[in-house]
Amino acid sequence: MWLVTLYRSTIGKKSIMAVTGLVLVAFVIVHMAGNLQVFLGPAKMNGYSAFLKSTGELLWLVRLGLLTALVLHVLMAWQLTRVAAAARPHDYARRDARASTVASRTMRWGGVLLLAFIVFHLLHFTTGTLFPTASRPDAVYPAFSEHDVYGNVVSAFHNPWVVAVYVVAMLFLLLHLFHGAWSSVRTLGLSKPSPQPLHRRIATVVAIVVWLGFTAVPVAVLLGVVR
Ligand code: HEM
């Protein structure tokens, strides 16, 4: 079947990487915009969260889609890394890269760090596992409430260490998006080869807007702008 043939080829794996990456980019843009509601107060933000949770099966369908995209994205990264290592067991004596950036050179390790952040983040804000409970009253963060996302965000980001984790993770997200948002459209042939591959207006704007929007929330809480 053509789908299996595509999956087995390097370009097929790269295309899966690009498509799933773009799905994840769309998610982070929507999530970042949703988070900015923290500046509109608890009623707005908690209302938005309650609305999302009230969609029931639809929410689970979106979660399943996102999880599938993430698993495929990580799996393809792993397989492509192995293919590349097998094709060139010894590195070049000299690298003369055309469009190498810090972002492109940190895609693999930065990606692993982002994956670790996502696991931490889900345990933090979605399941509340990292918040204290009656049996763990000494945990670092104040109490977690499924119905008070605003309260969870404000209390969690009173801790400068938690803010530091999020700020550093968002810097890795900035780098990952700067390279990924550009290379995915190149892989899919949606943009033409350019003589100036470092001029990437859309990827730069997407990466900076997402970074600013996400970072603003923990920083605003720490500075007391949101309380
Ligand atoms: C400063 C940055 C971020 C903040 C303040 C933040 C905040 C939150 C909060 C409060 C929730 C819980 C929402 C609710 O229960 O209604 C949440 C859920 C989530 N966040 Fe984030 N987030 C940030 C960055 C990210 C990033 C970069 C990613 C992915 C790369 C991400 C992925 C998720 C996912 C997958 C969920 C679970 C959604 C669900 O319930 O299905 N977040 N986030």
The domain locations on the chain are 2-88+102-222
Query: How would DSSP label each residue in 38-88?
Result: GGG-HHHHHHHHHHHHHTTHHHHHHHHHHHHHHHHHHHHHHHHHHHHHHH-
Between CA 202 and CA 190 the distance in angstroms is: 13
How many CB atoms are closer than 10 A to CB 188? Answer: 13
Predicted pLDDT at 94: 80
For ligand 1, atom 14, name the residue with the nearest CA: 49
Q: Are residues 226 and 38 in contact, defined by beta-carbon separation less than 8 angstroms?
A: yes
State whether the beta carbon of 48 lies less than 6 angstroms from ligand 1: no
pLDDT digits (tens, 9 = 90+) for 20-30: 999 999 999 99
> Binning pLDDT at 50, 70 and 90, where does residue 58 land?
very high
**pLDDT grade, residue 162 (50/70/90)?**
very high
**pLDDT in the model for residue 193:** 76
Do the beta carbons of residue 194 and residue 227 sit within 8 Å? no
Considering 35-49, 93-107, 119-133, the range whose residues carry the highest mean pLDDT is: 35-49
> 112: number of CA atoms within 13 Å, CB side?
5
CA of 144 to the centre of ligand 1 (A): 15
Residue with tokens 């890795």: 172
Q: Is the pLDDT of residue 135 over 70?
A: no
Where does the pLDDT of residue 41 fall: very low under 50, low under 70, confident under 90, or very high at 90 and above?
very high
Q: Which two tokens stand for residue 38?
A: 């923290």
What's phi and psi for 147, nearest 5 deg?
Answer: -95, 0
Between 99 and 160, residue with greater pLDDT: 160
From ligand 1's centre to the CA of 126, what distance in Å?
8
| Mean pLDDT confidence for 56-75 | 97
State the fold for domain 2-88+102-222: 3 helical TM bundles of succinate and fumarate reductases (1.20.1300)
CB 13 within 8 A of CB 3: no
Quick check: 105 pLDDT over 70? yes
The burial of 172, by beta-carbon neighbours within 10 Å (0-12 exposed, 13-18 middle, 19 or more buried), is given as: buried
163 Cβ below 6 A of ligand 1:
no
pLDDT higher than threshold 70 for residue 138: no
CA gap 165, 213 in Å, rounded? 16
Give this prediction's pTM: 0.92
- Contact residues for 15 (Cβ-Cβ < 8 A; gap 6+): 6, 187, 188
The residues near 222 (Cβ < 8 Å, ≥ 6 apart) are 157, 158, 160, 163
How far does CA 103 lie from the centroid of its chain? 14
Q: How far apart are the first and last CA of the chain?
A: 56
Mean pLDDT of 59-86: 95
Name every residue whose Cβ is closer than 8 Å to that of residue 156 and which is 6 or more positions away in sequence. 124, 125, 131, 141, 142, 162
pLDDT of residue 50: 96
CA–CA gap between residue 64 and residue 70 (Å, rounded): 10
Closest-CA residue, ligand 1 atom 8, reads 125
- Please state, rounded to an integer, the average pLDDT across all residues of the chain: 91
